[in-house]
Amino acid sequence: MHTKRIMTIVLAALLVALALASCGKDKETTAPAAAATPIPAPAAGAAESAAVPAASSAENATESPLLAAGESPLATPAANSPIPTPTPETSGLTGASTADTGSVSGRILVTRDGVDTPVGNVIVGLADVIRDETGAPKASGYSPDTAVKGVTDDAGGFTIDNVPVGLYSLILDAVITSYQLENPKSGETILIDVKAGENVDIGVQRYAELPLPGFGTSK
């Protein structure tokens, strides 16, 4: 009797073990089936929708006004500048020069009450400019006997031909007196840098008065 009871317990244990083993096999076969489920591919509409922002961004970059240098208002400031560029008033005269020398020309007037009076028949000479140790203009020396000169015509114009290369100031030489010309607007000495083969036109210089007979304040 006791032996039959033990056999019954052992048989029940074996049945339980077999049942548990059977459950484990079912789980092992089921799990891989779930893992093997394929991932669905994204819909065609979703792919096209994602591509639109990228294309739109590239199109906007191409049309950006910052990439068009020609449209920038800073690219051509002179054309849009409200300040007109002054045009120098040239004399229209040209002196003779060579491969080794230059020339100087200009016109000198005295203006009173809006009326221009030509400074005619006056000697115009060039004074050599003396530089300091740094090369800056310091003084000028004028010698009537050796200076390169010209004479103003009835319209106040002059030309000085075949001038040696160098830096000069301009002298009005009235024999009894001489006067170093200054810029009538700035008051600075007119300096002329003569180069070989070139004419330097100082333009039309208008003065309120000059310390020369007939061109002073008294008439």
pTM assigned to the model: 0.59
Q: Which domains does the chain have, with CATH numbers?
A: 101-207 (2.60.40.10)
Are 160 and 124 in contact by the 8 Å Cβ rule? The answer is: yes
Neighbour-count burial of 206, counting CB atoms closer than 10 A to its CB (0-12 exposed, 13-18 middle, 19+ buried): middle
Nearest residue to 127 via CA among 144, 140, 117, 146? 140
99: amino acid identity, one letter: A
List the chain pLDDT tens, one digit each, 219 residues.
555 666 666 666 666 566 555 555 544 444 444 444 444 444 444 444 333 333 333 333 333 222 233 333 333 334 454 555 556 789 989 999 999 999 999 999 999 999 999 999 999 999 999 989 998 998 999 999 999 999 999 999 999 999 999 999 999 998 888 889 999 989 999 999 999 999 999 999 999 999 887 787 554
